[in-house]
Chain A
Amino acid sequence: MSSPVAAGHPPAAPSSPSAPPFPPALHERPEDEQLLAAKLVPLRRPGQWASALVLVVLLAMLVHTLLTNRRFQWDVVGSYFLNGSIVDGLKLTLWLTAAVMASGYLLAVGVAAMRLSGNPVLRSLSFGFVWLVRSVPPLVQLLFWYELASLYPQLSLGIPFGHEFVTVRTAHLFSGILAAFVGLTLDVAAFASEIVRGGILSVEHGQTEAAEALGLGKVRIFRRIVLPQAMPAIVPASGNLLIGMLKATSIVSVIAVQDLLYSSQLIYNQNYLIIPLLLVATLWYIILTTLLSIGQFFVERHYARGSNRGGGSARTGFWQLFRGNVPLGLS
């Protein structure tokens, strides 16, 4: 492989006696006409073909066992796939994820902006928030919000250490679903704020200066100039976070919120069809994740406007990208 010919320059001393002399002697060199007429032979890639073969065999084995092992009970999977409480659980998972991501990202943009501001109080506050939330496991956070009543039986609005105007009993305040919403929102906010901050830092400072020199206001510069340019850096990591959160919402089962996973657990607790019902939930998660990944592709393409990577006039299609990423080079 590492012959001196491949290295592209004549070696000081030939490393192996069998290597042909470089450059070849004058009379051995091909004529220009011969080179121009020569056929181009692409580099062979035997490794790619071997790995493809292994993959195909493994895939066949997987399909085989899925189909022939009767204990998967695909008929049961089929009959529960669109079951009423499964679909209700699916709906809850969907809207909880959507609500948590939306409010989490709204908070995250604020937290990231605070962290990047010149105000040291806001900077420390933002840092402290991210540090605290990232340090606490989401499950603990969830239980904490759910059990808030045992820590603070009532919350009051009023002058600090003084008169209280409104008092609410926390037992009524945090239902399981609200605890889940608050806990997961804070979690998303902390992680997403770091993603957003990284995206903002990736935008050249000259962009802000040019916008300032035009007399644009702070908020407008952020919204119209910096944030859109930060998006290509923000979107892939956010897609990750979104898909992670879709599945992470399943921890709400510990506080008896009936999401997709907990609904199937409730069913198999009664009929003991554990594997098929877990498969029902898994299939739904796979379908949702696939849809989200496709959505992410289009969002990324939208924000590639004006860059050389797609966007503008020469657009890369989804199919082309898919083909480019599948190792079996069939072209």
Chain B
Amino acid sequence: MSEQIHDESTRPLVRIRGLRKSFGANLVLDGVDLDVHEGEVTVLLGPSGSGKSTLLRSINHLEKPDAGFVEVGGEIIGFRHQGGSLHELGHRAITRQRARVGMVFQQFNLFPHLTVLENLTEAPVAVRGLSRKSAALQAKALLERVGLGGREDAYPRQLSGGQQQRVAIARALAVEPQLLLFDEPTSALDPELVGEVLAVMKDLALSGMTMIVVTHEIGFAREVADSVVFLDGGRVIESGPPADVLANPGHERARSFLSAVL
């Protein structure tokens, strides 16, 4: 985390430039620039409808940008640059890129017809070509890591919301991504279950995982984030270390949002 020193010459793991996206006449992302360095935790803040989810989903090409680009690990996501044009990639290539970016959803989206273990082994077997056996070993280790050792035979519906979200985090980790995206991971949880999920996320951050987190948990941002980015109306209106941005935001919209959630 913070002890890491960023040499300006090292290229950020994630580079977003001029990202624009509209749904019909609704301009949702209006030229977003964002850098995230390896091992950094970036927290995205902003009012509802400001485009946080759309930005996050663009990073693994669940949304296709209208203009601008997203680069992860030096590779443009969803496109190939050739002869002055960006050519849209085929499904296979996009699938390969997605395996390097993990995502955790607000509604968990675990596969309800599969056991916890099967949820965790599906992608490693299909994407990384692991054998069922080694995938299962890895899955058990991951479940220990999120504090759910021994629950591998449960079905998602037999777990609490907090447990399901921790399984979802383990599932995302199972493909060994370079980057983890979190879209309001605690917003669907009962208040007493929020802590256990945030604790797992903090652990991950301390272990050096690169993370982009959309959340309204200001405490998490203050304690764990390396930088906080404030989105409003599809634009970045403020960004910087949490101490600066959270303590004295320069922008009026950021100030009123913070006073509302704090």
Contact = CB atoms under 8 A, between A and B. Distances in A.
B122 interface: yes
B111 A207 contact: yes
A210 B109 contact: yes
A225 B96 contact: no
A25 to B, nearest CB: 43
A6 B85 CA distance: 73
Contacts of B157: 306-308, 312
A210 B171 CA distance: 10
A212 to B, nearest CB: 6
A209 interface: yes
B112 to A, nearest CB: 5
A216 interface: yes
B252 to A, nearest CB: 35
B78 interface: no
A215 B156 contact: no
B111 A215 contact: no
With most chain B CB atoms within 10 A of its CB, the pick from A211, A215, A225 is: A215
A225 B98 contact: no
Contacts of A312: 155, 157-158
B92 A214 contact: no
A71 to B, nearest CB: 54
Contacts of B175: 214-215
Interface string A189-211: 00000000000000010110111
Given A215-B96, A305-B155, A229 B126 contact: no
B126 A212 contact: no
B172 A206 contact: no
B113 A305 contact: yes
Decide if the interface of chain B is mainly helix, strand, loop or mixed: mixed
Interface in A232-248: none
A206 B126 CA distance: 19
Contacts of A216: 95, 122-123, 126-127
Interface stretch (B6-14, B18-26, B100-108, B191-199): B100-108
A217 interface: yes
B95 A217 contact: yes
A307 to B, nearest CB: 7
A229 B112 contact: yes
A315 interface: no
Interface in B170-184: 171-172, 175
Nearest to B100: A215
B155 A217 contact: no
A228 B155 CA distance: 15
Interface residues of A, number: 24
A211 B107 CA distance: 14
Nearest to A216: B126
A39 B158 CA distance: 36
Interface string A300-323: 000101111000100000000000
A224 interface: yes
Given A214-B122, A215-B123, A217-B126, A306 B62 contact: no
Nearest to B61: A212
B60 interface: yes
Contacts of A218: 91, 95
B27 interface: no
A169 interface: no
A109 B124 CA distance: 27
B137 interface: no
Given A215-B96, A215-B99, A217-B91, A210 B111 contact: yes
Contacts of B103: 210, 213
Contacts of A215: 95-100, 123, 126-127, 175
Contacts of A229: 111-113
Nearest to B62: A209
A307 B60 contact: no
A306 B99 contact: no
B67 interface: no
25 contacts: A204-B109, A209-B62, A210-B105, A211-B111, A213-B98, A213-B102, A214-B99, A214-B123, A214-B127, A215-B98, A215-B175, A216-B123, A217-B95, A218-B91, A228-B113, A229-B113, A303-B113, A305-B113, A305-B155, A306-B112, A306-B114, A306-B155, A307-B157, A312-B157, A312-B158
Interface of A: 204, 206-207, 209-218, 220, 224-225, 228-229, 303, 305-308, 312
Interface of B: 60, 62, 91-92, 95-103, 105, 107, 109-115, 122-123, 126-127, 155-158, 171-172, 175
- Those 8 A-B pairs whose CB atoms lie nearest each other, nearest first: A215-B99, A210-B109, A306-B155, A213-B103, A214-B123, A206-B109, A215-B98, A215-B127
Given A212-B60, A224-B126, 14 more contacts: A206-B109, A212-B98, A214-B99, A214-B172, A215-B96, A215-B123, A215-B126, A215-B127, A215-B175, A217-B91, A218-B95, A225-B111, A305-B155, A308-B157
